[in-house]
Structures are given as C-alpha cells and as structure tokens.
Amino acid sequence: MSILDVLRGDADAGDLDAALELGRLLCLLPFDPVEGPQHSRPEERWLRTVVGARPEDRLAANLLAGCLTRQINYVRDSRPGDRDALTSRRLEAERLYARVLEAHPDDPTARAGLARLDNLFTNDLPTAPAGEHGYYLAECEFVSGSGGTIISFVHADAAELRWALDLWLQLVGDEMGDGEDGGLGTDSFTLTTIAGGRAVDTLDLDAHMDGLRIDWGTLSIPPVPAPPLPPGHPGRFEELDHDHGYSETGA
C-alpha cells in the first residue's frame, strides 16, 4: 500500500492532518493515481476540506492559494479569454493569503504569493528580491512545431521530488508517448538546484533515463544550499517566478 493510499484512507475517515499531508503531496502530481487524469489538481479537494474545518491553518491556506495560482497560470496559457475563471480564482487566492497575513503579518509564503498573483495579472517581471530560499526545479520540455509544453516540478525536498518524478513517469509516460529509444521523447529534461534565485547545479536527467525510469543510482543530487523553500512558496529563477509543485505551461 502506497503512502497516498494510507493517507487517503485516514483522510476519508476524517483525519484532517492526513488530509493536509495528502493535499501537500498531491501538489507534486498532475492527478491522483486513484481518480485518473480526468481529475486534475487532485490536491484541491483535500486542502479545501482542511481550510473549511481549520480556517486558521496557514499551511493549508497557503497551499490552497498556491493551487489556485497554478490554475490561474494554466488558464492564462490555455484559455486567456476566460475572465470569470481567472477572476474567481484570483479573488479566492487573495482572500486566503489575506487571512494568513492577518494572523501572521510576516508570513513569507503569503507575501510572495500575493506578489506572484500581481505579476500574473500585470504580465510584469517580478520586482521583489528573489529571497534566500533554496529548492529544486525539474523541467521536462516537449516541442512540437512552433509550440510545445513545459512540465515543471518545484520542491525543496530531494527525496519527495524523486518520489514525485518516479510516480509521474509511471502515470503519464505512456500517455505522452515513447520516443524511438523507448524514453519520453523529450527535448530536454533537467534538474536544477537553485539558491537565492541562482542556479548552483544542473543535471541532465535525459542522460540518466532507462526507458521511462530515471536511474537515480547514477545521479548525485546536491543538497539545497540555503533555507528550504516552504511548501506553497513560489520560487524565483532567472527573473521568473516558478509555482511550487507540479505545473504545465506552453513552451
């Protein structure tokens, strides 16, 4: 039985801590393995459960606001004319961040989240300092004609990131289609270690693929050389914000 199965069982039984942990981990995946790809943003259900029962829970509020921000970024990319979807998500995310800041005025995740929302709707480059947080950015790029897709994972825990990448490859590798060599057929697949908005190490994951599996035994992932990026906190790299968790955008 997987960790997701254990947490799901406890969350279904009413354990709010399990629901929060399940939602946190599902932020790293495109969909829940049980529900399938037709149900994207699997974390939202569980985070809403926690926020509804514990409105003072700032981790749940920040994670849910981050989930809504990822949705905004996706809608802007795929359905830019859907103003209702964009506005409703923005207002809810702002309310969640405001609630956190009312109780914790110096909360860095809520402050960074509000700045990220502003940048999304003004199309401005981030102006706030990158901060000193460290994290990992895994990016998988597929190019087709004049367009393409970039799938990214932003997280500060190396073990959990490996878990998410392995499970993602299991879940969607076949759906994306194998390349001639039996792999993903990506144009690039990298893992970058970031601190203070700067890359300190970049690994070519394509060079360590065995079919649809990453051979982690041939890789050495350096530790994050800075205070780890909090869950839900957007990261900054090369003057761009990167939403925590799993994201999919146009190339």
> For 208-218, how does the pLDDT look when each residue is reduced to its tens digit (9 = 90+)?
998 889 999 99
Q: Which helix (H) or strand (E) holds 202?
A: strand 198-204
Count the alpha carbons within 13 Å of 114 in the hemisphere toward its beta carbon. Answer: 14
The boundaries of every CATH 1.25.40.10 domain in the chain are 3-122
Q: What is the token pair recorded at 112?
A: 């960074």
Residue at 186: amino acid letter: T
The CATH class of 3-122 is: mainly alpha
> For 97-152, how does the pLDDT look when each residue is reduced to its tens digit (9 = 90+)?
999 999 999 999 999 999 999 999 887 666 555 678 999 999 999 877 667 889 99
Could you tell me if 73 and 120 are in contact, meaning their C-beta atoms sit under 8 angstroms apart?
yes
pLDDT in tens, the chain (251 residues): 799 999 999 999 999 999 999 999 999 999 998 888 877 899 999 999 999 999 999 999 999 999 999 999 999 878 878 889 999 999 999 999 999 999 999 999 999 999 999 999 887 666 555 678 999 999 999 877 667 889 999 999 999 999 999 999 998 665 655 444 556 777 799 999 999 999 999 999 999 998 889 999 999 999 998 899 999 999 988 878 899 999 998 76
